[in-house]
C-alpha cells in the first residue's frame, strides 16, 4: 500500500502513514470545526522553513481546506515565524483568501515587514483600512516594525497618530515599538517623549528600547543614568551599554562594562561578544580578545558567521595572523565579509602573496568580490610592493566587475606607486580622478615625497593640503618634516608658526600596552607612570645595548634646530620606547610585547637596520634572563645531552621516562600566554619523543605544573586576572571557567601536535605511554579533595575525548583526603587538598601515582624514621590500589637530596636500595605496583634544578649500579609473571 513520506517534519509528523488512514484524518478535519491541534499545521516546528510550510500547505490542499480563511491565516502565521525573508509565497496565499480577516492581515503585514520590501506592509495597512478592517493591538507593532526597517519617519508618525486616535497608547508592546521606531530614525527626543508619557507602563523591553535610543544617539551619559534607574536589567541592557561605549570610541570603558557583566554571572549574547571583540581589535588588546574567545568556547556558543568574522578581525589586528587563519579555516560557514576580513588581515601583515592566493580561492568558489574585497587586494599589493599585480587588479576591478574606484582604492594605488618611487605615475592617477581627491590622497602622495626627498613637489602638495584642510595638524607636520629632512630650518619654523597662528596643535602620539590586567598608556617623555623611574632605567639599558650593537639614531624626524645630543634624547623618549621598556619590566620571559599606537610608528626604531638591532636587543634581553637555567631541549646545540641520557638509561635497562609537556626542562615555558607557544620548545619536545623512540624508552608527559615556574598553575590564573576575570586566589584554577578553558586549549594543542621529526601526531604516537594531568596538584582552599576531584573528572574526560589510545594518570603525590578520614594519619603531618582514593577512582584514570620525599616531608628526622615512614607510605598505597582502586600503582617520583643535613652517597644508595626492594617485593607478591621512577637522572653537562636530587650516571657508579640491578630484576620478574600459570588469579 502506498504511503506518504515527509522528510521535513519532526519525528512526530505524519511520515509513513498509510494513505487511506491519512485521507480519513483529512476528511474528519474538513467536516469538523477547525482545530490547529488536529491540523497538519500543529505538526510544524516553532520556526518552520518555507519547505515545511509548503508541505503543510500541500496537506491542506489535499484536504480541500484552502477556502477556510482561518486555516490559511494560520498558515501565514507560520510563514511569519519562518527564517525566510521572501514575501512572494505568503503574498500568493494572502491574495487567494476571500475577505481576509484581521488575523490574516496582521500576519501578512508581519511577513512583509521582515522582507526586503518593508514599505509594502504600509500599503497593505492602507488597503486594510480602506476595506474597513479595523486594526487591533497586534497590528501596530508589525506596522511600526516595517517603518523602522524602511526608516519611514513620515509614515511612522502618521501610524503614531492613529495609535493615539484608536486609544492604544497604554499597550506596552505598541509603546516599545514606537520607542524603537523613533530611535532607529534618529528622533531621540520623540523616543524620550513616548517613554516619559507613562513610566508606569514599562517592562524591561521598554527600558532597553529607551536605553538603546540614547546609546545609539551617542548620549552615553544619559544612557548610564537610565541604566542605574532600571528596576530590572537583562543581558540586552548590558549589551546596549557595551555597544554604546564601543560605538562612540570609548573602547576601554566598553571592555570594563563587559568585565563587570561577566563578574555578575550573566551569560553574554552574540551581539555583546561581537562588540567586545571589535573593541579588543581596535585597541589591539589580545588578552581581552582571548578572554572573549575562551568565553565563546566555554559556553559552547555556535560559531556563527558574525562571531567567526569578529574573531578573525580581532586576531589579525592584534598581530596573531596565524590564529586568525585558524579561525577562518575552521568556520563551518563563511560569507563575503568573512573572506574580506581575512584578505585584509593578511594584507595588513604584509603577506601580500598569501592574500592574493586567498582572493583566487574566494573567486574560484563562485563568490563575487565587492569594493571592500579590492581594498584588501590592493592593500596587499601595496604592503608587499607588488607593482604589476596592483595595476592588474585595479584594472580588473573596473573592467571585469564594474566597480567604480573609491577613495580607498585610489589610496592603495597611490601608496603602492609612491612607496616604489613611481611618484609621477601616482600624481597622474590622482589628477585624472573622476571625483576630486580628498586630503588623505594628497597626504599619501606627500608622504611619498618625503620618502624620496622630493622637496619641491612636496612643498607644492603640502601647500595644497593646507588649503584643503587647514585644521588638520598632520599636514603641517608632514610638510615640516620634509623641510627638516632637507635641513631647511627657516621653512620648518614658518610652517610651525602658521600652525600656531591657525590654532592647530599636533595630536599627541600615544602608545598602549596591555599588561598585568590593565591597559597602560604612554606619551613621549611621559613621567607620570607609577613605575617611571624603573622605566627610564630600562631605557638606559636599552640605549647602551643598542649602541654596543652599532645603532645610529635617525634624528631627521626631529623638527627642531637643536643640538644632535638633544635630538637623540627626544628620539629615545618616544612613547613606543617607553611602552617597550615597561613591557620588558613586567612581561614574563618569552612573552610577546605588543604595542598599539594612534600615530605612525617611530621612523628611527623602524628604519630597517635599526629595527633589526632593536629586535636583536629584545631577543638578547630575553636570553640574558634565561642564563640561570640553560635550556637543554629548545636549543638544538644542547640536544646531544638528551640523546646521551636516553642512551645511558637504555643501557641500564630503564624503560620509562617521565618529563614535562609544559616547559623545556629548564625555565622556558612551552606556552607563553594563552594560545601562544614557543615553537623552539615544541620542537625540543618533538626531539625528546623521537629520541625516546630510538632508544626504546616510553614516555609519561605531564601537561602542566602545580608551581609558579615553568608554565605552572599560578600562571594560568594570572593570565585570566590580566584579562579582567575576577580571581580570588590561585585555587580558582580548578573552578574558574575561563582558566579551565585555557587548560583545555593547552591539552588540545599538545595532544594534537604533529611531531616535526617523526611526522606522527602526539595522540597517535606509541612512544608516549601516558598523559599526566598536572604535576603534584594541590588545593589549599579545599583540603577535602572534592574540588580537585571535580576538576580531575572534567579534565580526564576531556583528555580521553581527544585521545583514548594512551593511558592517563593524575600526577598525584598520594595524600589522603576525606573519602577515608582514617587514612589521613598516613599523611606526613599535613594536607594538600587531594584525595588519593576518590581522585583515582575516576574511571578515566588508568593508573595511580605516588611521590615520596621523606627528607623534605620529615625534615629533621633521622634516616631510620624516614625509612619507616616510606614503608608505611608504600604499603598503604599498594594495598589501596590493589583492593579499592583495582588499578596499577607507580612510584612516580622519589629520591634523596644531597642538600639534606647528614647526606652521604652511601646513605642515598642504601635508601634507594630499600625503596627498590619494597617495589620488587610488592610486585613479586602480586598486585598492582608497576615500578618506580627516580628523580632525577641526568647526564654530564645538563643544567640541574639545584634541588640536590640530580644523579649524573657517569659520575655516580655506585648509584648507577643500584639502579641497573633493580631494572634487571624487575625485567626478569616481568618475564616470569607474563608466562602462563606463573601466578595465581589473585596475583593477576
Per-position DSSP letters for 546-564, written without gaps between them: HHHTT-----TT--S---H
Highest mean pLDDT among 36-45, 561-570, 911-920: 911-920
**499 near 476, Cβ under 8 Å?**
yes
- Confidence tier at 786 by pLDDT (50, 70, 90): very high
- Confidence tier at 7 by pLDDT (50, 70, 90): very low
Whether 336-499 and 39-264 are alike in CATH topology: the answer is: yes
Across residues 551-573, what is the average pLDDT?
49
- Confidence tier at 943 by pLDDT (50, 70, 90): low
CA geometry: angle at 24 spanning 20 and 27, to 5°?
135
Phi, psi of 931 (to 5 degrees): 145, -175
Tell me whether residue 685 is exposed, middle or buried, using C-beta atoms within 10 angstroms of its C-beta: 0 to 12, 13 to 18, 19 or more.
buried
**235 near 266, Cβ under 8 Å?**
yes
- Lowest mean pLDDT: which of 221-235, 417-431, 435-449? 435-449
Which helix (H) or strand (E) is 646 found in, with range?
helix 639-651
Across residues 21-42, what is the average pLDDT?
43
Grid cell 497590528 is found at 139
User: Who wins on pLDDT, 112 or 710?
Assistant: 112
Grid cell 509565497 is found at 89
Q: Does domain 39-264 have CATH number 1.10.3720.10?
A: no
| Superfamily of domain 336-499 in the CATH hierarchy | Tetratricopeptide repeat domain (1.25.40.10)
User: Across the chain, what does the average pLDDT equal?
Assistant: 80
- Lowest mean pLDDT: which of 619-623, 690-694, 732-736? 619-623
Across residues 612-625, what is the average pLDDT?
39
**What is the spatial distance between Cα 54 and Cα 102, in angstroms, rounded to a whole number?**
23
- Confidence tier at 985 by pLDDT (50, 70, 90): very low
Across residues 11-28, what is the average pLDDT?
31
User: Who wins on pLDDT, 521 or 503?
Assistant: 521
Across residues 401-427, what is the average pLDDT?
89
Non-local (6+) Cβ contacts of 73 within 8 A are 97, 100, 101, 103, 104, 107
Q: At what angle do helices 608-625 and 575-586 cross, to 10 degrees?
A: 20
Report how far Cα 438 is from the mean position of its chain's Cα atoms: 38
- Confidence tier at 605 by pLDDT (50, 70, 90): low
Q: What is the torsional sign of CA 153, 158, 160, 161? A: positive
Specify whether the backbone of 67 is left (phi greater than 0), alpha (psi in -120 to 50) or beta: alpha
Report how far Cα 611 is from the mean position of its chain's Cα atoms: 29
**What is the spatial distance between Cα 886 and Cα 472, in angstroms, rounded to a whole number?**
78
Which helix (H) or strand (E) is 818 found in, with range?
none
Residue 656, strand partner residues: 698
Which helix (H) or strand (E) is 562 found in, with range?
none
Report how far Cα 199 is from the mean position of its chain's Cα atoms: 42
Cα 732 to Cα 159, 748, 778, 920, distances in angstroms? 55, 21, 12, 40
Give pLDDT tens digits for 857-901.
Answer: 988 888 888 889 999 999 999 999 989 999 989 998 988 888 877
Residue 931, strand partner residues: 890
Strands 951-952 and 3-4: unpaired
Non-local (6+) Cβ contacts of 438 within 8 A are 407
Is 893 assigned a catalytic role? yes
**920 near 965, Cβ under 8 Å?**
no
**What is the spatial distance between Cα 584 and Cα 465, in angstroms, rounded to a whole number?**
40
Catalytic residue among 573, 813, 893, 950: 893
Strands 807-809 and 848-852: unpaired
**What is the spatial distance between Cα 392 and Cα 411, in angstroms, rounded to a whole number?**
16
pLDDT of residue 976: 66
- Confidence tier at 14 by pLDDT (50, 70, 90): very low
**What is the spatial distance between Cα 982 and Cα 978, in angstroms, rounded to a whole number?**
7
Tell me whether residue 127 is exposed, middle or buried, using C-beta atoms within 10 angstroms of its C-beta: 0 to 12, 13 to 18, 19 or more.
exposed
Give pLDDT tens digits for 819-869.
Answer: 999 999 999 988 899 999 999 999 999 999 999 999 889 888 888 888 899
Report how far Cα 569 is from the mean position of its chain's Cα atoms: 39
- Confidence tier at 581 by pLDDT (50, 70, 90): confident
Is 425 assigned a catalytic role? no
User: Who wins on pLDDT, 144 or 250?
Assistant: 144
- Confidence tier at 622 by pLDDT (50, 70, 90): very low
Instruction: Give alpha helix (H) positions in 652-724.
Output: 679-694, 713-722
**240 near 211, Cβ under 8 Å?**
yes
**What is the spatial distance between Cα 446 and Cα 430, in angstroms, rounded to a whole number?**
12
Percent of the chain with pLDDT over 90: 27
Among residues 413, 268, 281, which one has the least CA distance to residue 341? Answer: 281
**What is the spatial distance between Cα 484 and Cα 370, in angstroms, rounded to a whole number?**
42
**What is the spatial distance between Cα 61 and Cα 787, in angstroms, rounded to a whole number?**
62
**437 near 410, Cβ under 8 Å?**
yes
Catalytic residue among 772, 776, 943, 950: 776
Give pLDDT tens digits for 275-324.
Answer: 889 888 887 778 788 888 888 888 888 899 999 999 999 999 888 898 99
CATH number of the domain at 622-977, out of 3.40.50.740, 3.40.50.720, 3.20.20.80, 3.40.50.300?
Answer: 3.20.20.80
Grid cell 548590558 is found at 238
**What is the spatial distance between Cα 934 and Cα 960, in angstroms, rounded to a whole number?**
11
> Is residue 3 over pLDDT 60?
no
What are the residue ranges spanned by the domains of the chain?
39-264, 336-499, 510-608, 622-977
For residue 760, give the 3-state DSSP assignment: coil
Specify whether the backbone of 182 is left (phi greater than 0), alpha (psi in -120 to 50) or beta: alpha
**What is the spatial distance between Cα 882 and Cα 877, in angstroms, rounded to a whole number?**
8
> Is residue 565 over pLDDT 50?
no
Strands 17-18 and 518-523: unpaired
Taking the CA atoms of residue 396, residue 399, residue 404 and residue 405 in that order, the dihedral angle to the nearest 10 degrees is 40
- Confidence tier at 201 by pLDDT (50, 70, 90): confident
Amino acid at each position: 500500500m502506498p504511503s506518504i513520506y515527509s522528510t521535513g517534519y519532526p519525528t512526530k509528523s505524519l511520515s509513513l502513514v498509510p494513505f487511506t488512514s491519512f485521507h480519513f484524518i483529512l476528511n474528519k478535519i474538513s467536516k469538523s470545526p477547525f482545530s490547529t491541534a488536529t491540523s497538519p499545521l500543529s505538526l510544524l516546528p516553532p520556526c518552520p522553513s518555507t519547505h515545511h510550510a509548503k508541505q503543510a500547505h500541500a496537506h491542506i490542499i489535499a484536504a480541500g481546506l484552502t477556502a477556510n480563511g482561518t486555516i490559511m491565516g494560520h498558515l501565514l502565521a507560520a510563514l511569519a515565524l519562518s527564517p525566510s525573508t521572501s514575501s512572494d509565497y505568503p503574498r500568493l496565499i494572502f491574495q487567494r483568501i476571500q475577505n481576509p480577516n484581521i488575523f490574516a492581515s496582521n500576519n501578512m503585514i508581519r511577513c512583509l515587514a521582515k522582507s526586503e520590501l518593508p514599505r509594502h506592509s504600509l500599503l497593505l495597512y492602507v488597503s486594510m483600512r480602506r476595506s474597513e478592517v479595523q486594526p487591533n493591538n497586534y497590528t501596530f507593532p508589525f506596522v511600526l516594525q516595517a517603518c523602522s526597517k524602511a526608516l519611514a519617519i513620515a509614515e511612522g508618525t502618521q501610524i503614531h497618530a492613529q495609535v493615539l486616535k484608536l486609544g492604544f497608547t497604554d499597550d506596552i508592546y505598541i509603546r516599545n515599538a514606537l520607542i524603537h521606531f523613533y530611535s532607529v530614525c534618529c528622533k531621540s527626543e520623540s523616543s524620550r517623549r513616548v517613554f516619559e508619557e507613562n513610566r508606569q507602563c514599562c517592562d524591561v523591553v521598554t527600558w532597553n528600547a529607551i536605553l538603546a535610543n540614547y546609546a545609539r544617539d551617542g548620549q552615553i551619559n544619559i544612557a548610564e543614568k537610565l541604566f542605574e534607574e532600571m528596576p530590572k536589567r537583562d543581558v540586552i541592557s548590558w549589551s546596549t551599554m557595551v555597544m554604546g561605549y564601543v560605538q562612540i570610541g570609548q573602547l576601554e570603558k566598553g571592555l570594563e562594562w563587559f568585565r563587570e557583566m561577566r563578574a555578575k554571572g550573566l551569560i553574554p549574547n552574540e551581539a555583546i561578544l561581537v562588540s567586545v571583540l571589535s573593541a579588543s581589535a581596535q585597541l589591539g588588546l589580545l588578552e581581552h580578545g582571548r578572554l572573549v574567545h575562551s568565553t565563546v568556547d566555554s559556553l559552547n556558543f555556535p560559531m556563527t558567521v558574525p562571531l567567526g568574522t569578529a574573531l578573525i578581525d580581532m586576531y589579525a589586528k592584534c598581530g596573531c595572523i596565524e590564529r586568525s587563519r585558524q579561525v577562518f579555516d575552521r568556520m563551518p560557514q563563511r560569507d563575503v565579509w568573512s573572506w574580506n576580513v581575512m584578505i585584509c588581515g593578511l594584507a595588513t601583515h604584509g603577506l601580500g602573496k598569501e592574500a592574493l592566493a586567498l582572493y583566487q580561492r574566494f573567486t574560484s568558489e563562485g563568490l563575487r568580490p565587492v569594493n571592500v574585497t579590492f581594498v584588501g587586494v590592493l592593500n596587499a599589493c601595496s604592503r608587499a610592493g607588488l607593482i604589476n599585480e596592483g595595476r592588474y587588479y585595479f584594472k580588473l576591478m573596473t573592467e571585469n566587475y564594474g566597480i567604480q574606484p573609491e577613495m580607498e582604492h585610489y589610496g592603495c594605488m597611490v601608496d603602492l606607486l609612491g612607496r616604489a618611487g613611481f611618484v609621477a605615475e601616482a600624481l597622474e592617477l590622482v589628477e585624472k580622478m573622476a571625483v576630486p581627491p580628498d586630503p588623505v590622497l594628497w597626504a599619501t602622495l606627500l608622504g611619498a615625497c618625503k620618502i624620496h626627498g622630493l622637496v619641491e613637489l612636496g612643498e607644492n602638495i603640502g601647500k595644497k593640503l593646507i588649503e584643503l584642510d587647514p585644521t588638520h595638524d598632520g599636514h603641517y607636520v608632514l610638510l615640516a618634516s620634509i623641510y627638516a629632512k632637507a635641513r631647511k630650518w627657516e621653512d620648518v619654523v614658518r610652517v610651525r608658526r602658521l600652525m600656531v597662528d591657525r590654532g592647530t596643535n599636533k595630536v599627541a602620539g600615544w602608545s598602549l600596552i596591555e599588561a598585568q590586567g590593565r591597559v597602560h598608556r604612554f606619551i613621549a617623555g611621559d613621567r607620570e607612570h607609577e613605575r617611571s623611574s624603573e622605566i627610564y632605567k630600562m631605557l638606559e639599558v636599552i640605549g647602551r645595548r643598542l649602541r654596543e650593537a652599532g645603532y645610529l639614531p635617525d634624528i631627521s624626524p626631529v623638527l627642531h634646530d637643536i643640538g644632535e645630543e638633544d635630538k637623540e634624547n627626544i628620539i629615545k623618549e618616544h612613547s613606543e620606547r617607553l611602552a617597550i621598556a615597561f613591557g620588558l619590566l613586567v612581561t614574563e620571559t618569552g612573552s610577546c610585547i605588543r604595542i598599539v599606537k594612534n600615530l605612525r610608528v617611530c621612523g628611527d626604531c623602524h628604519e630597517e637596520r635599526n629595527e633589526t638591532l632593536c629586535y636583536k636587543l629584545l631577543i638578547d634581553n630575553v636570553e640574558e634572563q634565561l642564563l640561570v637555567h640553560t635550556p637543554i631541549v629548545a636549543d638544538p646545540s644542547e640536544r646531544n645531552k638528551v640523546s646521551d641520557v636516553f642512551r645511558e638509561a637504555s643501557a641500564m635497562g630503564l624503560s620509562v621516562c617521565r618529563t614535562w609537556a609544559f616547559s623545556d626542562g629548564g625555565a622556558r615555558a612551552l606556552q607563553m600566554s594563552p594560545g601562544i607557544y614557543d615553537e623552539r620548545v615544541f620542537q625540543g619536545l618533538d626531539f625528546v619523543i623521537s629520541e625516546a623512540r630510538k632508544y626504546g624508552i616510553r614516555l609519561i608527559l605531564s601537561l602542566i605544573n602545580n608551581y609558579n615556574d615553568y608554565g605552572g598553575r599560578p600562571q594560568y590564573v594570572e593570565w585570566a586576572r590580566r584579562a579582567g576575570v575576577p580571581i580570588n586566589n590561585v585555587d580558582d584554577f580548578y573552578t574558574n571557567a575561563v582558566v579551565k578553558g585555557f587548560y583545555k586549549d593547552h591539552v588540545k594543542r599538545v595532544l594534537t601536535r604533529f611531531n616535526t621529526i617523526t611526522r606522527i601526531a602526539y595522540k597517535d604516537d606509541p612512544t608516549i605511554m601516558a598523559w599526566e594531568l598536572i604535576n603534584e596538584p594541590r588545593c589549599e582552599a579545599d583540603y577535602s579533595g572534592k574540588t580537585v576531584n571535580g576538576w580531575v573528572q572534567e579534565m580526564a574526560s576531556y583528555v580521553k575525548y581527544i585521545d583514548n589510545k594512551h593511558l592517563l594518570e593524575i600526577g598525584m603525590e598520594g595524600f589522603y583526603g576525606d573519602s577515608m578520614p582514617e587514612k589521613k594519619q598516613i599523611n606526613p603531618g599535613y594536607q594538600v587538598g587531594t584525595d588519593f582514593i576518590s581522585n583515582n577512582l575516576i574511571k578515566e584514570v588508568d593508573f595511580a601515582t605516588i611521590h615520596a620525599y621523606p627528607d623534605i616531608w620529615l625534615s629533621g628526622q633521622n634516616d631510620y624514621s624516614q625509612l619507616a615512614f616510606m614503608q608505611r607510605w608504600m604499603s598503604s598505597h599498594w594495598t589501596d590500589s590493589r583492593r579499592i582502586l583495582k588499578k596499577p600503582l607507580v612510584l612516580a617520583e622519589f629520591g634523596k637530596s644531597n642538600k639534606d643535613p647528614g647526606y652521604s652517597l652511601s646513605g642515598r644508595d642504601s635508601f634507594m636500595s630499600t625503596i627498590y626492594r619494597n617495589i620488587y617485593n610488592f610486585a613479586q607478591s602480586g598486585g598492582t605496583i608497576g615500578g618506580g621512577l627516580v628523580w632525577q637522572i641526568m647526564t654530564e653537562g645538563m643544567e640541574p634544578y639545584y634541588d640536590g636530587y640530580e644523579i649524573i650516571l657517569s659520575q655516580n657508579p655506585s648509584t648507577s649500579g643500584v639502579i641497573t640491578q633493580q631494572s634487571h630484576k624487575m625485567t626478569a620478574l616481568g618475564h616470569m609473571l607474563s608466562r602462563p600459570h606463573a601466578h595465581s588469579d589473585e596475583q593477576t
